[in-house]
Amino acid sequence: MERNFFAKFHGLGNDYICLDEDWIDFVLDENAVKTICDVHYGVGSDGILVKTHSSKADFGLRIFNPDGSEAEKSGNGLRIFAKFLYDYEYTLKRKFSIETKGGIVQATIEELVEGRAKLITVDMGKAVFNAQDIPVLCDEKECLGKKIKINDREFEINCVSVGNPHCVIIVDQLDENTVKEYGSLIENLDIFPNRINVQFAKVISPDLVEIRIWERGAGYTLASGSSSCAVASVMVKKGLTDRNLTVKMPGGTLKIQIDQNWNIKMTGEVQEICSGKLSRELTSQFI
């Protein structure tokens, strides 16, 4: 592998750049992340996934948002990272563990096409509704059905952690403009000490939910694995859907399974976009 090699993938339109910390010769600080993720000055992406070493799992992973902040977990990111590890022969196993800031997850390569990973399942851990653990500042032990008011609008929020924090708003009609107008305002409310990911969700049937997403540190996003898991968990918690359901997003669909103990499994496709080498002219800015 060449120095500063990268590979870019997408999971349902949610794109990430993969790097190996052993093969980069610059400091991946906030400025570097922002520049590399910028579509005009860098490669352009919704974030960066960095392979690291782990003493607790087969592989370690750091996840960076395009604003330079670091995320605990990403569902699409984990499926993409699993494909990166398998396709670039870091492992020959089709099941392996990955350590993230949000905990250790298991990844399984379900389907191959011409020897490359296509369909991947990730064990996303448990859904946690305890407000303190999300965290969200709430008078109740669980922040479910709490009403908040922002400017001229009232929203009913339902909060959950799936390794990272989420705020789910159930609506009768989905409106992209509402997500873009209020997503950042909700993300940065004082009641969310670590900020929060925001989803607007509509129940279509007992096994189908459609959502729109505002990701913490990234903004309006075509798809999100952890958001899908969060929405599914809230829907099951409130008795609105079955435990096995499909989550539909502008970028595509994911299959989510939630067992009786709130363990979550997520299955979906990923695809490589391109690979290459970050130029010396680019990386010299960060050394």
The CATH code that applies to domain 131-261 is 3.10.310.10
pTM of the shown model: 0.92
Residue 207, φ and ψ in degrees, nearest 5: -125, 20
- Tell me, yes or no, if the two domains 5-125+270-283 and 131-261 fold the same way: yes
- The residues near 132 (Cβ < 8 Å, ≥ 6 apart) are none
* Residue spans of beta strands (DSSP E) within 127-182: 144-150, 153-161, 165-170
Tell me, what's the pLDDT at 215?
A: 94
* Residue spans of beta strands (DSSP E) within 1-152: 5-11, 14-20, 48-52, 59-64, 70-71, 95-100, 103-113, 116-126, 144-150
Is the separation of the CB atoms in 233 and 162 below 8 Å?
yes
CATH fold label, 5-125+270-283: Diaminopimelate Epimerase; Chain A, domain 1 (3.10.310)
pLDDT by residue, tens only, the chain of 287 residues: 899 999 999 999 999 999 999 999 999 999 999 999 999 999 999 999 999 999 999 999 999 999 999 999 999 999 999 999 999 999 999 999 999 999 999 999 999 999 999 999 999 999 999 999 999 999 999 999 999 999 989 999 999 999 999 999 999 999 999 999 999 999 999 999 999 999 999 999 999 999 999 999 889 999 999 999 999 999 999 999 999 999 999 999 999 999 999 999 999 999 999 999 999 999 999 97
Tell me, what's the pLDDT at 44?
A: 97
Q: Give the residue extent of every domain in the chain.
A: 5-125+270-283, 131-261
Tell me, what's the pLDDT at 287?
A: 76
Tell me, what's the pLDDT at 1?
A: 81
- As a whole number of angstroms, the distance between CA 262 and CA 161 comes to 11
